[in-house]
Structure 1
């Protein structure tokens, strides 16, 4: 197999969220096989779709099914086209005190819930409690659900396209470069419109309103009166939609790492990065706090560590670093290093060490170290010649969902320059990557058959929702979570005093206990509750694991596992 090393904004933003096991996400197909090296393969297409949930044993101790649901919920033709939704469940271990099924969504938009269950389901099950099933589903158009949206004829074709972008940041002061970025989004938008099949293509039926209704139907088919749900990242948008559309069907609904659905529905993407620089700067603070034995970039103050980091970036900008013996060969550019720290900010505990190792290897011209680090500096792409089971491959769902849900946007040069300036003022590192989202939607022409335009609010719900939010999230700021809380009557808020995306980015037994209390007993945290993390970047464990009770130790282990699979919203 030939391999191509790429670092592109299109690679970073066009596919939406993927859950990562290390610094960067391999293709979802690779993730799936890695996570299930010891589990038997499963052919989703061997499952006959049904209008009822017919469980089949799969992956040793789990259950799988494909549920037929209406493609068009606005159609009066009950025998019209359908979509087959892939379901994968870990059954509850405690059947005596059985409390129902919790649906999970990894975000994206376009993330695979069956894949999230593969890598995080057992840890989520430990946290919510043994009396719940945990069910991951692939939203319509995504993963093992069919039909899927594919704007390229193969994974290899998509990968080749992504290699063409180059090493320059998007910059509105460079008209030629801006033109290149716009043209690339136009190519993808045109291909998707042509390949999707027109009026009956899946892209017209992938809206969040449709997926929220799918969740209602799945819940009903399970025999439950109300939805139990834990949604991460974009999954918080889905949770806001569901709660607004079906407030009397809320059982236990958790939204974790919150993006304001009004900003999302406006296709603005300009509230996300408020705290991004604070998260990146935490690397320098924690490095200083940990000391020279734990952080190789240690200096006498966080400011000096920061200066040292950016000196390396300035040097690489003038003189990129070739790594000829990496497989595939690698060229380290400033864009590659900024993308590395941007993505590392999603889960600092697990990835800041890699950032430090990279900078130190560049400082010392250590080619052996850079060769070993190469897959964590630039996301390697493998050109596979065949598709293996379980046929969960990357698709092009992000724009269909995010741009379809949003207001129609047209490109205005002056307005976009002002937009870009505001975004990069908040987040000079992440802004050039994030600003592509707006361009994606200006060049996306497929409009959904059903787009929810009602209030994204609910004064009364059948049970209050629970909002989990890190104090400093790189792409979903606390400000958004606070705004969302005000719109949903009685909602509880738990702030985790941590850096990273979603609560799972920093293990906290305190947070896990509140989740368990909410799921099992419906109890919300007291007003003003703040949970501390049990571990910090570089510093390590700050709680005494040896003093933990058996239950706390079990929760801690599950949380540590979850911290490896933090959602990569919009990255």
Structure 2
């Protein structure tokens, strides 16, 4: 399953963010400060003790402050078990111009908002940085918020390395059995939280956070999966929405099949754009875009049969088709990484050395060369996604999808088609289902779509903006995943103005 991605910073910072991952709280002896919580919404009176809590902030590196927010594991049982959400705040640069708190989420599902917020200088425009406290949180089950841990790291290596495109009855049976075993391991090893990591529950946590921050309205920046979290919040709490931007949007009414096909086509489009840059750099796969795409497909098939060697890794010694697919996908999130992919392919083609491409796969999966993982995204993504939406348990469904998808996306279609099996075999019943969100009563919500976004195709942003009663559609005509603060001053100026002056961009703005 391809994640929607931790997005929205430069390629260099993205890579740094992905490898830093989960950190332990850094507590100092400095005195704590407390925020003033907001009144409890009338509909939330049974949850008063959560809404009325005060955050105790401690220093946690540079100018950042950290705290823990307590929320119920099950919102239907407010007197039952609780869990803690880690929160990090980087204070506004100019206190005299401070507007409030801007809550940020980088995506995933499973991306660490705590680590994302540490890069406050990169993830928002300089005027916004001066005026807002940038606040990130690790959603329940993620990174430093009671992280879900389904299987040991060595078994996670095997899970990610497996053949992602089964093409014989025996391989299909093995793939289905592996998916079922992974789900059962999550159910057994991550209780009780694994049954309560849905996006709806994370959105409810976000409203408790809003109150604890002392904000009457939630000002929010969500990227990639964070747009689904933001839209879900708006649907639940439309009158609590402040200045909300959803960048690299996912449409909430997408079925699992629609989502996976959309991603397959999105990554195919992005890979074709990379192919031209590869040719310009002297591509080892061919001299035309079609030749490069055909060559890439042939390379993945070759690795399916005969993996390449990997050197310098504590545990992984072979680049399989699975690892290679993740490595190629990693480079599609930002065009700044295209040359890295081209360079990684040369030793693979010339010397059967997959070390460099494995490095890209490691970046994608939050994996270190010593065999440890710095985050738990590659586990929690399934736990969240499969609670949000179910899929078919019938393996024949995926065999048909693989044929249909590959006709529309020859490189990524089969890979994405089979990735749906995880949710098809998930042992915990889904608590959500796809459906449109209108968020009637919310102020303008800005939705940004990038025309050649691989992970969240442009059409999804159009779809979400049309569903939202107050949706404002903004288009970035470009490459890569998400748009704000990546490369375009037209986008940046429009969003900065929205956050600073509460003036939404013109609906239909194209940059």
TM-score (norm 1): 0.74
RMSD over equivalenced CA pairs, Å: 3.7
Indicate conservation of the 8 Å contact 1:411/1:442, yes or no.
yes
For residue 438 of structure 2, what is the aligned residue in structure 1? 457
Matched, 1:353 2:356: no
User: 1:341 maps to what in 2?
Assistant: 328
Q: Cα 1:392–1:417, aligned 2, differ >3 Å: closer, same or farther?
A: closer
Q: Which runs of 5+ in 2 are unaligned?
A: 35-49
Q: Of residues 477, 490, 503 in structure 2, which corresponds to 1:497?
A: 477
CA change 1:275–1:453 in 2 (3 A) is closer
CA contact (8 A) 1:143 1:395 kept: no
**1:484-542: per-residue Cα shift (whole Å, max 9, x none)?**
111112321111111111115951122111110111112222243222xxxxxxxxxxx
User: How do 1:62-461 and structure 2 match up within 5 A?
Assistant: 62-75=64-77, 77=78, 79-118=79-118, 120-127=119-126, 128-146=128-146, 148-152=147-151, 157-163=152-158, 168-171=163-166, 173-197=167-191, 201-263=192-254, 269-288=260-279, 291=280, 294-295=281-282, 302-303=289-290, 306=293, 321-322=308-309, 330-332=317-319, 336-349=323-336, 351-365=337-351, 375-376=359-360, 381-382=368-369, 396-407=379-390, 409-447=391-429, 451=432, 456-461=437-442
Aligned-pair CA distance for 1:70: 2.5
What secondary structure does 1:68 align onto? strand
Number of residue equivalences:
486
Paired residue secondary structure (2:183): helix
Distance 1:515 1:129 in 2: 12
1:514 is matched with which residue? 494
2: CA distance, partners of 1:268 / 1:522: 32
**Unpaired segments ≥5 residues, structure 1:** 1-11, 34-39, 532-571
Q: Provide the rounded CA distance (Å) in 2 between the counterparts of 1:51 and 1:451.
A: 28
Contact 1:358/1:377 (CA < 8 Å) preserved in 2?
no
> Conserved in 1, the CA contact under 8 Å of 2:440 and 2:468?
yes
Quick one: distance in 1 between partners of 2:282 and 2:208?
Answer: 50
Give the structure 2 partner of residue 563 of structure 1. none
> How far does the alpha carbon of each residue in 1:201-253 deviate from its partner, in whole angstroms, 9 at most, with x for none?
11222221111111111111222111111111111111111111111111111
With the length of structure 2 as denominator, give the TM-score of the two structures: 0.82
Alpha-carbon offset, residue 432 of structure 1: 3.2
Q: Aligned with 2:84: secondary structure?
A: strand
**1:132–1:398 distance in 2 versus 1, CA, 3 Å:** same
**Cα distance in 1 for residues equivalent to 2:305 and 2:19:** 37
Q: Distance in 1 between matches of 2:301 and 2:190?
A: 44
Question: What's the CA shift for 1:58?
Answer: 1.8
CA contact 1:471–1:497 (8 Å) conserved in 2: yes
Matched position secondary structure for 1:104: strand
Displacement of 1:306: 5.0
Task: Output the CA distance in 1 between the equivalents of 2:57 and 2:329.
Answer: 41
Distance 2:214 2:178 in 1: 46
SS in 2 for 1:133: strand
- Cα distance in structure 2, aligned partners of 1:325 and 1:214: 42
Q: CA deviation at 1:413?
A: 3.4
- RCO greater where, 1 or 2, for CA within 8 Å and sep 6 or more? 1
Equivalent in the alignment of 2:450: 470
